[in-house]
Amino acid sequence: MWIDSHCHLDAAEFDADRAAVVDRARASGVSQIVIPAVEAANFETVRDLAIQHRFVYTLGIHPMYVMRAAEQDLALLAEALEQHHCDPRLVAVGEIGLDFFVPGIDAERQQYFYLEQLKLARRFDLPVILHVRRSADKLLAGLRRIGGIRGGIAHAFNGSAQQAAAFVELGFKLGFGGTLTFDRSLQIRRLASELPAESLVLETDAPDIPPQWLYKTAEQRAGGGISRNEPAELPRIAQSLAELRGWTLEQTAAVTSANVRAALPRLALG
């Protein structure tokens, strides 16, 4: 019924109860999860998890990991894409992109890894899963510069309406998750309510980006409070989208799931 288009199921936060997390997701109606890699060291881990739980995965180097990545890691990514190119569970190159919010990540190095990974996506004719944080314009510039990208998903989108339209024009769907559930997220909620229905996909980004009911303040976290997100929360997050659009939950599931399959065509074949 539901597709979580972005969940880091391999994260250490799930080590103690990963099987239970999957069981809860399925019990809530989440039938498919996209598990993105973030660095070469977890390429095989995300693939193994996808096979074990009948989910799908992506391969790429996240911008927040480029400072510890080596040039050889791009070669390893190319080798992995070559090796697994016929694997129907490999649905995209990702998570790749640019992050100009976190201090200390070299912008030039990020840009280099981003462009090189776009070239690999073009070479292997795969969509991309994009990390977008204060970087929409430069991501769009890179897509136009490299050209020939099969679209994909701009994950956790938080840009402007103009930037959203530009991604959609280039064949991208836009990911919305826990941030949507906060009343103060005015721009994101406005976009979710006004963008074309065919441009919207849902995600949790679990264990990150908790929805409003799981959120803990910095003070609460310092006191031991845990705000771990998980894919079973997706239907409740979807309720916020349904209310904004005036849709039923069934309609929301049908629209957003169809959009994920359109963004990641190998999913439609599974």
Q: 98: part of which helix (H) or strand (E)?
A: strand 90-99
Task: Reduce the secondary structure of 161-203 to three states and give it as a string.
Answer: HHHHHHHHHCCEEEEECHHHHCCCCHHHHHHHHHCCHHHEEEC
Contact status, residue 125 vs residue 93, Cβ threshold 8 Å: no
Q: Which residues of the chain have pLDDT under 50?
A: none
According to the model, what pLDDT value does residue 225 have? 73
**pTM value?**
0.97
According to the model, what pLDDT value does residue 270 have? 58
Nearest to 36 by CA among 28, 46, 45: 46
According to the model, what pLDDT value does residue 221 have? 75
Residue 164: exposed, middle, or buried by beta-carbon count in 10 A (0-12, 13-18, 19+)?
A: buried
Residue 206: exposed, middle, or buried by beta-carbon count in 10 A (0-12, 13-18, 19+)?
A: buried
According to the model, what pLDDT value does residue 5 have? 98
Query: Rounded to an integer, what distance in angstroms lies between the CA atom of residue 60 and that of residue 73?
Result: 10
Nearest to 166 by CA among 147, 192, 143, 146: 143
According to the model, what pLDDT value does residue 227 have? 87
Nearest to 153 by CA among 21, 31, 9, 34: 34
Per-residue model confidence as pLDDT tens digits over 91-100: 999 999 999 9
Residues 224-245 as b or e (16 or more Cβ within 10 Å = b): eeebbbbbbbbbbbbbbbbebb
